Amino acid sequence: MFAGTGSDVGKSVVAAGFCRIFLQDGYTPAPFKAQNMALNSFATPDGLEIGRAQAVQAEAAGIPCSTDMNPLLLKPNSDHTSQVVLNGKPHGNQSAYSYFRKEGREELRKEVNAAFDRLAARYNPVVMEGAGSVSEINLRETDLVNMPMAIYAGADVILVADIERGGVFASVYGSIMLMTEEERKHVKGIIINKFRGDARLFEEGRKMIEELCGVPVLGVLPYFKDIHIEEEDSVALGAKNYQARQGRINIAVVLLRHLSNFTDFNVLEQDPRVCLFYTNNVEELERADIIIVPGSKSTIADLAELRKNGVAQAIIKAHKNGKTVLGICGGYQIMGCEVLDPHHLEGEIERLPGLGLLPVSTVITEEKVTLQSNFRTLHIKDSLPDGNTQGKRVFPFKGYEIHMGESTPFGGMECSALNLLEDGREDGCFVSDKCMGTYMHGILDNGEFIEWLIAPYADKCEKSGFDYDEFKQQQYNRLADVIREHVDMEKLYKILGRDD
């Protein structure tokens, strides 16, 4: 288990790196995080929902993702409540107070332990990840994801600390000293993460930590910005770009308060022709060629906020001025004529007018749709692979749906679908090649769709030919190389009992 001295110390990325290392070394690794809190989720091949971080780690391990890798997912609805997703399916909404009560806790513990057991029977090693700080002593009795999980699994725990934020000695020593004696027995190593500069300057500090804690420091990982691994949650947005640039196709992602699945834009971020930036600033939106309204965990709340801060009017104005506007999932709902919540699933507001850019009405539904899909965009010219003489339709694009809501034509208006799915369903709404919406997360991972989307602005740059799948595999390998260079792998394998 890679446990942390706090949140955002790099546990998810380190775990992904070790998944790739164990794969390279001939093992069959799989990731596991008993409980994850994140708005960034992913649909498994069997149509269930897990945290995006475990899907990324599974990709690094070279295996399909499953709910056993993240049996319990909390998706915040507000500062006080979250949707509980158990074994990939919604299990209702709970306040933080009610969720962390002792009552009913053992039932959840049985579920996450059973998921681990199923995973451990199929894969070796299981690369576990803790959550937040490993030493939240006030939550010890109800904790499902840190040391109680490590003890159940018999896991060797590697403590990850972030030196960049300062206080690394106190955070490491304090984390270990606040553990019980039984918990400390499982802590076998320490990794210092995000070190800037020459690591030799920290050699004395490394020895001090080992003497204080009685635990070896296995490595000091450097701070890096040139390796791109999908981030776990929107805390990473703080490092994203927030301004347009000259000489690029400027694509603005509307910075919603409850923005979810921001990994939809990872491919565009890496495209050298594009400047993708996040903003809720009206002036910055005016500089964009393309505006994307992204997914939201609270569509009505975010729509109300857009109306208050003037962003809604700015998007409508941009559309009138010939800019492209694309809505994805919650953003698709926001771009419609109205959003209805008759069951009060998101709050007290039963109806709110949308931006009116798409002729659809959305009803927030109790049942969540989670699917992986192959599809084709109806407005891109059909192309058949070489040798296809049967005239069969092909579905070259991949994506996934995660939404609670159904969108239908508004008031008898005509609505042309954007996509046709392989199972025969239609998806989204197409008004023009500069105004459209879709429920399909991952639509922007498909290079041909990107080429079509940016075609009106192609004179700003040269064609890219960027292969995102190949890029991701390169990044996992580069991450593994960095870890191998800066972590004592021989000592780590001895800890794991695999020193042959």
Q: pLDDT tens-digit profile of 110-136?
A: 999 999 999 999 999 999 999 999 999
Q: What is the pLDDT of residue 386?
A: 44
Mean per-residue pLDDT for 30-46?
Answer: 93
pLDDT at 409 over 80: yes
Residue 236: Cβ-neighbour burial (10 angstroms; 0-12, 13-18, 19+): middle
- Domain boundaries in the chain? 2-229+473-495, 248-460
Half-sphere exposure of 247 (CA within 13 A, CB side): 1
* Residue 178 DSSP one-character state: T
Which class is 2-229+473-495 in CATH?
A: alpha beta
Q: What is the pLDDT of residue 467?
A: 84
Place of tokens 């010219």: 381
CATH topology of 2-229+473-495 equal to that of 248-460?
Answer: yes
Residue type at position 328:
I
pLDDT bucket at 383, cuts 50 / 70 / 90: very low
Inter-helix orientation angle 468-486/52-61, to 10°: 80
Q: What is the pLDDT of residue 384?
A: 41
Mean per-residue pLDDT for 432-458?
Answer: 95
Q: What does pLDDT average to over the chain?
A: 91
| 25: phi then psi, degrees, rounded to nearest 5 | -90, 10
Mean per-residue pLDDT for 377-387?
Answer: 66
Question: Does 3.30.9.100 match the CATH number of domain 248-460?
Answer: no
pLDDT at 234 over 70: no
Return the active site residues: 329, 441
Q: How far apart are CA 193 and CA 332, in angstroms?
A: 39
Contacts of 260 (CB under 8 A, 6+ apart): 39, 40, 41, 75, 234, 294, 295, 296, 297, 329, 330
Q: 75 near 38, Cβ under 8 Å?
A: yes
Q: How far apart are CA 112 and CA 193, in angstroms?
A: 28
Residue range 170-205, pLDDT digits in tens: 999 999 999 999 999 999 999 999 999 988 889 999
Percentage of residues in the chain having pLDDT higher than 70: 93
Residue range 241-288, pLDDT digits in tens: 767 777 789 999 999 999 989 899 999 999 989 999 999 999 999 999
Q: What is the pLDDT of residue 330?
A: 97
pLDDT bucket at 385, cuts 50 / 70 / 90: very low
